Structures are given as C-alpha cells and as structure tokens.
Amino acid sequence: MASKKKAATGGGQDMLTSDKLMQTFRMPRDLVAGLRAEADRKGMDLTAFILKLTSGYLTDFGLPAAATAHLDADRAALGMDRDAYLLHLLFQRALAVREEGPAFDAPKSVRKGK
C-alpha cells in the first residue's frame, strides 16, 4: 500500500498527501544547487521543498478561495497565464517598494529605522 504521509508545511495539503509517483526531470546543475541551498536554509529536504513550491504554484500558495477567485478574475481580465500573472504581481510589488520603501506595509514592530 502506498504511503500517504502528510507534508510538514505549506498549502495545497490535499495535493501533498496523495499517493506519490516517481518522476524524473533534467535540470541544470546550478538550478539544483540553488534549490538545494534554499531547501537547506529552510530546514527541508529537496523533495519536500520542490513539492511545496510546485503545489503552491498550482494552488495560489494556500490563499483562501475568496482571494483566489478575485485573483483568477483579474488574471483572466488581463489575459495572462499563471506565469505571466505572477511576474506581473512581483513587478507591481517592486514598483510599490520603489515608491514607498522596503517593508512599507509591514507592522510597525517589523519596520526598523522608521
């Protein structure tokens, strides 16, 4: 019987607890090294980290359904696929940070020097 071991973290829990299939991908060595370093930094094994990233990508990183409905409608209205929309969101954040400064919307206890 296949293992249904639950993942320790992340959204998309249903996706992370289902039966697993072995899949192989060819990736540039530098990409694997970067992913492994990030997984190590988070105290995760590489497989768990990749599962968290890919599941998050497909499930809007565990946002509530009400939020994803608005984002999906916005993405559709803009005529963007998921990749382009995520890049758009990051770019919009970069513009806001440029205008307002780093951590402009963080709680005051987090903002240092302000």
Task: Supply angle C-alpha 47, 31, 12, rounded to 5.
Answer: 40
Q: What is the pLDDT of residue 11?
A: 47
Global confidence as pTM: 0.73
Cβ-proximal residues to 102 (8 Å cutoff; 6+ apart), any chain: none
Q: Is residue 69 part of a domain?
A: yes
* pLDDT, mean over the chain: 87
As for how many domains the chain has, the answer is 2
Helices (H), the chain: 13-17, 29-41, 46-58, 65-78, 82-100
75 shares a domain with 50 = no
Q: What is the pLDDT of residue 2?
A: 39
Q: What is the pLDDT of residue 24?
A: 93
Q: Which residues of the chain have pLDDT under 50?
A: 1-11
Q: What is the pLDDT of residue 20?
A: 85
Q: What is the pLDDT of residue 18?
A: 75
Q: Is residue 39 part of a domain?
A: yes
Q: Which domain holds residue 92?
A: 64-100
52 shares a domain with 71 = no
74 shares a domain with 53 = no
